[in-house]
């Protein structure tokens, strides 16, 4: 029998003074609150990053291929969408590649691949982006029209449709429908089914086209919602005087966004000729991804603070428990038990308190997370956070790591305070009242 464990279990269930009971309950509550806050923090930040990236990739894809002379503005430089290189891109499955930090930066052979991408290329779609003026009898609004073809992956946009439907494509002629953002529709006071006029400038002449609103979308990303509408790419080719094979760029959609940088570099360096340029969406819109990266720092700070709160509370309660059991320590020492074994008794006792706190913390944290996921009672200002409610993404591996790390770090931190046991002598302890 483990005598230290037996004694710790006995004194943990034995009646203690009212003050000690209160302190122990406060410690359990502190552990529970700390863990529940950590669970909610990781779940919300993971959900937040997932939702935002899904919105960005849903609108833009993962990689853009354009003419190498194009700059970061929306300058129109056509490329041929039937180029043979796109077939090679569509056929990309999994790539073997070499990690940058292999052998601490020492040079290795180019073909010495040590990693494999999670997936490959899901699809390649042409696009054109053209500035225009949207107008009705009462108002007008400058915007950008994104042209897509009938093979466009609408599954990425359908979650954002709040009214109506996506564009209906015709076989022989360009569709006269437009998918408009809720932001623009509200400003223009138009709705699904209304007809609007789009005006363009070509060769110093104004070109007008009448379109019907097929649906309204809302991504929550104001930067896009206030500027973009989606139309049939053939309508923009017609306005520009381009043949059906000419487009502004090709949008590459991947199986997994984590492969974005690797596959983008592979396409640019291995598959495309010099006249083409491949750029990941992360490189094209760095500010958004840098902002998302800052959330990791916030998450780290919150987790560290919660661990510190748990440790401070446990140190306090442990010292109180040791002082309360001074006479017991004296008796055990007089019976021949060494300091380390006595210290283990209090570490076991602290472990029980931490365990109960973790149990309650998991229950509370996961309960709130599940309620938020299904009922969405925590709301956000969509203009500032790009989301109308706090998102939840529960990662069970992360929660397990949080539990184990909280338990281990807190117990290890309590080893030093148990040194108080070594300062207690049997004679003084037995006289202690």
Question: pLDDT tens digits, residue range 370-406?
Answer: 999 999 999 988 878 888 899 999 999 999 999 999 9
Longest dimension (CA), the chain: 104
Angstrom distances, CA of residue 262 to CA of 4, 54, 267: 55, 19, 9
User: Do residues 253 and 104 share a domain?
Assistant: yes
| pLDDT band at residue 100 under the 50/70/90 scheme | low
State percent of the chain over pLDDT 90.
Answer: 49
User: Do residues 46 and 163 share a domain?
Assistant: no
pTM: 0.82
> Long-range contacts made by residues 113-119, C-beta under 8 angstroms, separation at least 24?
117/256, 117/259, 117/262, 117/263, 118/94, 118/255, 118/256, 118/258, 118/259, 119/93, 119/94, 119/254, 119/255, 119/256, 119/259
Per-residue pLDDT tens digits for 77-90: 888 888 788 888 99
- pLDDT at residue 250 tops 90: yes
In a domain, 281, yes or no: no
Per-residue pLDDT tens digits for 138-169: 889 999 999 999 989 898 888 899 999 999 99
In a domain, 278, yes or no: no
- pLDDT at residue 429 tops 70: no
In a domain, 64, yes or no: no
Encode 205-222: b = buried (16+ Cβ within 10 Å), e = exposed: eeeebebebbbbbbbbbe
User: Do residues 74 and 219 share a domain?
Assistant: yes
Last residue of a domain, one of 246, 273, 300: 273
User: Do residues 50 and 74 share a domain?
Assistant: no
User: Do residues 91 and 209 share a domain?
Assistant: yes
- pLDDT at residue 106 tops 70: no
Per-residue pLDDT tens digits for 183-210: 999 999 999 999 999 999 887 888 999 9
d(CA 318, CA 344): 12
d(CA 233, CA 242): 11
| pLDDT band at residue 427 under the 50/70/90 scheme | low
User: Do residues 391 and 302 share a domain?
Assistant: yes
Q: List the domain range (segments joined by +) for residue 312.
A: 3-54+289-431
- pLDDT at residue 105 tops 50: no
Could you give the number of structural domains in the chain?
2
User: Do residues 355 and 301 share a domain?
Assistant: yes
| pLDDT band at residue 291 under the 50/70/90 scheme | confident
């Amino acid at each position: 029998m483990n005598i230290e464990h037996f004694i710790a279990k006995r004194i943990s269930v034995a009646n203690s003074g009212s003050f000690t009971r209160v302190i122990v309950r406060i410690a359990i509550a502190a552990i529970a609150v700390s863990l529940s806050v950590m669970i909610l923090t990781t779940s919300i930040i993971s959900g937040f990053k997932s939702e935002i990236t899904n919105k960005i990739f849903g609108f833009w894809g993962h990689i853009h291929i354009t003419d190498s002379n194009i700059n970061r503005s929306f300058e129109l430089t056509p490329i041929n969408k039937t180029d043979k290189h796109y077939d090679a891109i569509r056929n990309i499955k999994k790539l073997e590649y070499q990690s940058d930090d292999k052998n601490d930066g020492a040079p290795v052979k180019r073909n010495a691949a040590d990693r494999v991408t999670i997936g490959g290329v899901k699809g390649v779609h042409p696009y054109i982006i053209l500035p225009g003026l949207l107008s009705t009898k009462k108002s007008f609004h400058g915007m950008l029209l994104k042209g897509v073809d009938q093979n466009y992956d609408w599954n990425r946009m359908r979650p954002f449709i709040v009214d109506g439907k996506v564009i209906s494509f015709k076989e022989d002629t360009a569709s006269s429908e437009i998918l408009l953002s809720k932001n623009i529709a509200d400003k223009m006071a138009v709705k699904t089914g209304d007809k609007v006029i789009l005006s363009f400038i070509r060769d110093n002449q104004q070109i007008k086209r009448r379109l019907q609103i097929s649906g309204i979308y809302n991504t929550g990303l104001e930067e896009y919602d206030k500027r973009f509408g989606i139309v049939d790419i053939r309508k923009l080719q017609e306005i520009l005087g381009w043949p059906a094979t000419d487009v502004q760029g090709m949008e590459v959609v991947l199986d997994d966004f984590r492969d974005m940088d690797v596959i983008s570099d592979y396409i640019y360096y291995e598959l495309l000729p010099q006249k083409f340029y491949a750029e990941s969406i992360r490189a094209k819109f760095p500010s958004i991804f840098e902002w998302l990266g800052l959330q990791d720092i916030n998450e780290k700070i919150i987790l560290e603070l919660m661990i510190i709160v748990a440790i401070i509370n446990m140190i306090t309660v442990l010292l109180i428990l040791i002082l309360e059991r001074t006479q017991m320590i004296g008796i055990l020492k007089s019976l021949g038990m060494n300091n380390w074994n006595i210290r283990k008794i209090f570490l076991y006792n602290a472990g029980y308190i931490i365990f109960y706190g973790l149990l309650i913390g998991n229950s509370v944290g996961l309960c709130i997370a599940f309620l938020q996921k299904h009922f969405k009672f925590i709301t956000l200002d969509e203009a500032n956070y790009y989301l109308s409610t706090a998102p939840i993404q529960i990662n069970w591996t992360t929660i397990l790591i949080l539990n184990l790390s909280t338990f281990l770090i807190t117990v290890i931190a309590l080893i030093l305070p148990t040194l108080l046991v070594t300062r207690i002598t049997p004679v003084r302890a037995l006289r202690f009242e």
